[in-house]
Structure 1
Amino acid sequence: MRIGLVGLLFSGLIGACHGQAIEYRTVALRGNVAPGTSAGTTFFGFEDSMVDSEGNVAFVAVLFGNDVNVNNERGLWAEHQGVLTLIAREGDQAPGMPAGVLFDRIFDPVMNSNGNTAFRAWLEGPGIDGTNRDSIWSESTGMGLGLVVQGGTPSGISGVDIGGFASPLLGDNDLVTVKTFLSGASVNSLNDEAILVQPATGQVAIVAREGDQADGAPAGVVYGIVAPESINASGVVSYAGTVTGAGVTATNNRGLWLAQTGGSIELIARGGEPAPGAGGDSYLAVGTSSLNSLGDLVYLASLQGPGVTFSNGSGVWKKRDGEPSQLLVRADTQSPGAPTGQHFGTFFVPLVNGTRSVGFAGELIGATVLPLEKRAIWSEGASTALELRLRGGNTSPDLAPGVSFSTLNSPALNADGLLVLPALLTGSGINTSNRDVLVGMEPGGDARILVRTGTMFDVDDDPNTTDLRLVVNPIRFVELSGGEDGRPTGLSRNGQAVFTLNFQQTFSGVFVASFAQPSCLADTNGDGFVTPADFSAWVAAFNTQAPACDQNGDGLCTPADFSAWVANYNLCKP
């Protein structure tokens, strides 16, 4: 496993290095043998990758080999206790199904904090047709891979069958929620969508269905289009949707609900209802929510009312389990960490992590806000106020002078407040071939560049050798999760970020960057021990101007680092 000082490969100055050590791990490369396949079958390409709480990785990959064809070229792999394992492959027998029923297509994988996966799949084979080919599968601890629900299954309502599916969400209790499209003699365009939840025992059940009475609404007001947004470790589901019926207008036709594990459903917010903390203004459109394992809910809503202007018509609310919702922030109010007069403008998807910290991306407004500075990331801690973490125009110790961030995507957030997000750069020497970056940011720390297009990246795990490849677009990273909401995430609880890279000459791979300090700077050979052998390693690092040379943290590799290495050795030696 290699340890690199972030910034070395991005600086263009061989002797330059910066700040915190980031530990990199190669999970899989194009050309590696694909576990669970026949001899000679290798990975050819990779799609999105995701991670559990301990840094185990899952991904979908395309295969290459003598027995690979269009019917079996894709599969889902996951690390179980660090061992990469084939979960499902197109063309393989679907477990528990009649002989000859195969996985035809694998979609939309998700991995939970326990390292179990769920996915959507099309089936093919005897007895499979357009009404029952769609299916949802999941792993559960100690039980392996099993069918959750299949199209064509009776829904429990007379004359109504479950049909196709959207992307599943997977809670940390290994239970699934998913949107389904219904079929049957009594089904029409006004009642053909529903949300399914998998209980701890028994078959999946419909929680909310288009055309049914909307929970918490007056009699005759029914659900319209509904979709699940998150599921937590207790199996609580947040879902958003529209309503129709008597008295429903464009000002009150959107809502947000919580479905509890016991079967009760609570209307959290609906258009037309007073919005807490909004000075008499009401909700307009409600939705875009996230849950954590404690039952905390955070959601975004737009506003209407006499106090609403063009610039202040939205906000973010949070709700703790058993407590009423509270306004966290409203548009057109002063942003912390920004000059006076620079206000919150637009909000994107809000997230909540396991320590009740809320984070979100958005845009700033104000007369002094430059176009470059609009995009920003905010977060709060369990006992700290909301703060501005990063904005356009900020820079990083890993960037050259005159280079800064421009566009910031929404982040992934973990329970320690670590943020990881894709971003774009602007400034001197920046173009479309070297502007894409993946950024990591610890609370109170600098924004660090984990990987950047147009730079060389070492794909070899061996600390004594290098295999440098030129990174090209796209850098694939799964954001928009707080880690406990049932959605896939590229960021683990213990500070590991997984991403998929493409390189020049069609090479690709899946990698993990870990936010972990080396045990001792004097351990220059990276073997986890401080011995005289590290002196030889330091000399080699000095001669090659490698990152391990810099022992005094001044960002340079000079003879002064020898004295610093001796001091570090004396501090760390047994």
Structure 2
Amino acid sequence: MSMARQYLVLLGFAAGLAFSASGQSVSIRPVATTLDEVPGVPPSRDFYLFHSSGVYIDEYGRVVFSARTSENNSSFETGIWAETSPGSLENTLIAGVQVPGQDPGVTFSSLSLSGLSGEGVAILDGSLNGPGVSSSNNETLWIYEAGSAAQLLVREGQTQLPGPIDVSSFSFASYSDDQSRTVIHSDLSGPGVTIDNAAARWAIDSGGQAEILTRNSDPAPEFGVDAFYSFAHVTPTAGADAYAIVRVYGDGIDRSQNEAVMLFPANQGPGTIVARRGDPVPGHPGMVHDDFFEFTIAESGAAFLSVFASGSPGVSGYGLLCANPVDGLTLIAATGDPVVGGAPGDTYAFENDTNIELYYRLVDISEDGTVVFASSTGSGSNGLWLYHANTGIQSIAIAGDVAPTPGGSYVFTDLQTASPIINSVGQIVFHAEAVETSGAPTINGVWATTPGGGLVPVLVSGQTVNVGTPGSPILKQVTSVSLQQGSPNDRDEKSPFSSVLNSSGEVVLTAEFTDGAGVFVAHISHCQADTNGDGMLSPADFSAWVSAFNTMSPQCDQNGDGACAPADFSAWVANYNAGC
């Protein structure tokens, strides 16, 4: 049957179709607000502040977050709370009270959430205070699983690695679901420890068995000379492999070749050089890598910034690259390249001064190797783009584009206020600011992509949210929305196992309202039938599906068989009537 004949048959069938589904594709539930009772503390204490830099969600939709409590707006204490199931909250650890298993009088002086694995294992970082506690033994790491008490995992000055070597000053820790162990990057102390070998990447299991994986001063045979590692930054993947920014030293090695991005195996063994200072930059003749900035990783690979240099004074540049074991190193975009979807003549400007925060939170990468990134442009604009090896660069949103909102006519003004985030099914969420075309005050909020390539507002300032229950609603007007973000001066990237967005399309965020604040989960339905990508189901989606059918676009495939065929129409009808 010809494509035209197929279209007529489908159109005739659709003429008698009763469209039964409608509604928005975003639902929001409160996790905790400043109006709630605080689990695990005296009734006189209230939630006072939620830390947007310490809130994560696992693959089961359970949230773990850091917050401060207060008693009559004084006597502030920080703690970590977790959902044992969505909607059921418990306290894990809190500052100011006796620390479990420690000497009498020992309390936490501070607590923070280091990360949360997809299976719901959290790593907590706590500093101790009290009798017998000093600067050489006050740092601790704890492990927590939903429904179980937090357990001490590591204590500075008391945990020993093979050697024996003492552990001190943790800079990175994350739990690996794949290997059922925690991977840590820390400083070392004790006999035989010098300035050259005083840091290591190591792992510890639930039984307390530890092994050193890679250590400063280990031989670096990959460099072909008598070289030794000096790890500037190590970030393990979910499989506990590690991408690292590595500096090397040894005879004959100078600054022109002493830094590299490398991939190390999950267990002990030699690494692989991904990109090295002095190596040619792909696609930029005459340019070489001169410096590397922090990166984001997944099991599929890594994405990172590189500073370019040349033999000519004043000639340099910046570029965004990705690396994976299959394709090797690929240059995604560089300063001076034309902006995809931008104004004619506009170019990317990764080194723009307004981009300084993005050196540390520019990019995210999914399990299939899709990269989402933000950048300034030469014209002073900014935006978000995604990249995949099969499709190249595509625009998500650029300043000046329409910003869909529940009401009013808005355009984006700043899309660089937080790192964009992508999940395993390709959904992207991002924080941005927008302004009404009439010149009304700026709003801020979180937006998400839809399967059709459109955008849907998740939560924006000016909206109302229910902080009560469905049966007893308490409506509050939102004044500000935040996604998890870290300090631009913090060289420790987010844990690759931790996210504010899971594969089911649930995103956790913090919001302030007129008389308080809260942590919320928004469910962004991966709505297959929303083929026009407007975040709604309506008969207009049928026309959009027909267009996708005629052009063989990805939105045509409604039954997930990887093909575009008439059978996808029946699948679209079923998806539509199932709703979102």
Question: In the superposition, relative to structure 1, how do residues 494 and 69 fare at CA in structure 2: closer, same or farther (>3 Å)?
Answer: same
**Paired residue secondary structure (2:350):** strand
Distance 1:460 1:127 in 2: 44
Conservation of the 8 A alpha-carbon contact between 2:510 and 2:519: yes
Letter in 1 for 2:203: V
| Corresponding position of 2:340 | 336
Conservation of the 8 A alpha-carbon contact between 1:393 and 1:406: no
| Corresponding position of 2:14 | none
How far apart are 1:443 and its partner, in Å?
Answer: 4.2
Letter in 2 for 1:195: R
| Corresponding position of 1:471 | 478
How far apart are 1:134 and its partner, in Å?
Answer: 0.2
| Corresponding position of 2:51 | 47
Given candidates 51, 56, 67, the residue that maps to 2:62 is 56
How far apart are 1:61 and its partner, in Å?
Answer: 1.7
How far apart are 1:118 and its partner, in Å?
Answer: 0.6
Letter in 2 for 1:459: N
Distance 2:526 2:369 in 1: 26
The answer to whether the aligner puts 1:179 opposite 2:192 as a matched pair is no
How far apart are 1:41 and its partner, in Å?
Answer: 4.1
User: What do residues 293-328 of structure 1 show as CA deviations (whole Å, max 9, x unaligned)?
Assistant: 3x433333233346998575423122136x633334
| Corresponding position of 2:514 | 504
Q: How many residues align?
A: 499
Distance 2:158 2:263 in 1: 25
TM-score normalised by L of structure 1: 0.75
How far apart are 1:24 and its partner, in Å?
Answer: 0.7
Distance 1:308 1:419 in 2: 40
Structure 2 spans left out of the alignment, 5+ residues: 1-21, 352-357, 531-535, 542-576
Distance 1:469 1:138 in 2: 35
Question: In the superposition, relative to structure 1, how do residues 283 and 378 fare at CA in structure 2: closer, same or farther (>3 Å)?
Answer: same
Conservation of the 8 A alpha-carbon contact between 1:57 and 1:78: yes
The answer to whether the aligner puts 1:421 opposite 2:415 as a matched pair is no
Given candidates 35, 41, 55, the residue that maps to 1:37 is 41
| Alignment RMSD (CA, Å) | 4.0
User: What do residues 215-257 of structure 1 show as CA deviations (whole Å, max 9, x unaligned)?
Assistant: 623444333452223x223211222143334334333232222
Given candidates 83, 95, 114, the residue that maps to 2:119 is 114
Given candidates 360, 376, 399, the residue that maps to 2:373 is 360
| Corresponding position of 1:203 | 209
Letter in 2 for 1:316: L
The answer to whether the aligner puts 1:291 opposite 2:304 as a matched pair is no
| Corresponding position of 1:385 | 392
How far apart are 1:456 and its partner, in Å?
Answer: 4.1
Given candidates 385, 396, 401, the residue that maps to 2:409 is 401
Given candidates 435, 440, 464, the residue that maps to 2:443 is 435
% same residue: 21
Distance 1:435 1:66 in 2: 31
Structure 1 spans left out of the alignment, 5+ residues: 1-17, 522-547, 555-570
How far apart are 1:177 and its partner, in Å?
Answer: 3.0
How far apart are 1:132 and its partner, in Å?
Answer: 0.9
After superposition, residues 27-426 of structure 1 pair within 5 angstroms as 27-48=31-52, 49-65=55-71, 69-70=75-76, 73-82=77-86, 83-97=88-102, 101-139=106-144, 145-153=150-158, 155-156=160-161, 160-173=165-178, 174-184=180-190, 186-187=192-193, 189-198=195-204, 203-214=209-220, 216-224=222-230, 226-229=232-235, 231-266=236-271, 267-279=273-285, 281-293=287-299, 295-305=300-310, 310=315, 312-320=317-325, 324-339=328-343, 341-346=345-350, 348=358, 349-365=362-378, 370-371=379-380, 374-381=381-388, 383-398=390-405, 400-401=408-409, 403-408=411-416, 409-426=418-435
How far apart are 1:277 and its partner, in Å?
Answer: 4.8
Conservation of the 8 A alpha-carbon contact between 1:170 and 1:486: no
| Corresponding position of 1:459 | 466
Distance 1:518 1:19 in 2: 11
Distance 2:73 2:517 in 1: 21
Question: In the superposition, relative to structure 1, how do residues 460 and 324 fare at CA in structure 2: closer, same or farther (>3 Å)?
Answer: closer
Distance 1:252 1:172 in 2: 36
